[in-house]
Amino acid sequence: QQQQQQQQQQQQKSTRVKNVWKYCSTCNIFRPPRTKHCDICKNCVCVFDHHCPWTGNCIGLRNHTVFLRFLLGLTVYSVFVFIFCVMVLLDDMGSIPGLYPMEKFTKAVVLYPINTCILIISFFVTAGMIPFLSYHLYLTAVGMTSYEYIKENCMDAQHGSQHSLSDVDSEPFITKAFIWTSNIYHKICRCQKLPESKLDYLQTVVSAEDYIHSYAVPSAL
């Protein structure tokens, strides 16, 4: 009974977190659930994940799929470059005469500095991209965003409790694995139609004087 009560409380917390509409005093709108105002973009972003400094915009509902594909492609490319550079280095070591492998390795590094630089760069890029991609694939599988994940951990640290925004925590592992795999497939592999943006970038820009005069009360004849 206690476990059932705890599960009901967790579901109530997750439902309350997901269904809250908040008012944004900057944009003067009521933000839909899972929406956050970005101080850098100066806009409310639906299903806000994070503000990416590498792409120069926010990652949200309309571009999260493209962002995951970008991470996946960059990770595969960096792994390919790293493996290719290692193969080239081994081939260079085989063409250098010597008795000891360490001596061949040193000569190959000195004789082919460009390959060595690319190898070092691709190693660090691969070492950073694999954990980053794994982290975002995990969030996609459980149906959370980076902002929600960080916020949840902060709430756990402050209140000393454990709760989750995911609705499948109480399911068996096989069911959870199927749901997680399905979430990743639908997010990355399926071609879904993007929802329309709420921002009108093609609207006509008018000056402040024209705007005031357009709403001015006409004088009496």
Pull the structure tokens for residue 50: 């994070």
Tokens 């950073």 sit on residue? 128
Neighbours of 44 (CB within 10 A): 22
Catalytic annotation present for 38: no
Q: Are 148 and 34 in contact (CB under 8 A)?
A: yes
Residues near 167 by Cβ (< 8 Å), separated by ≥ 6?
11, 14, 143
HSE value, Cβ hemisphere, 13 Å, CA-based, for 198: 11
- Residue partners of 181: CB distance under 8 A and separation at least 6: 141
Selected catalytic residue, list 27, 52, 58, 189: 52
Taking the C-alpha atoms of residue 191 and residue 14, their distance in angstroms, rounded to an integer, is: 29
Residues with catalytic roles: 52
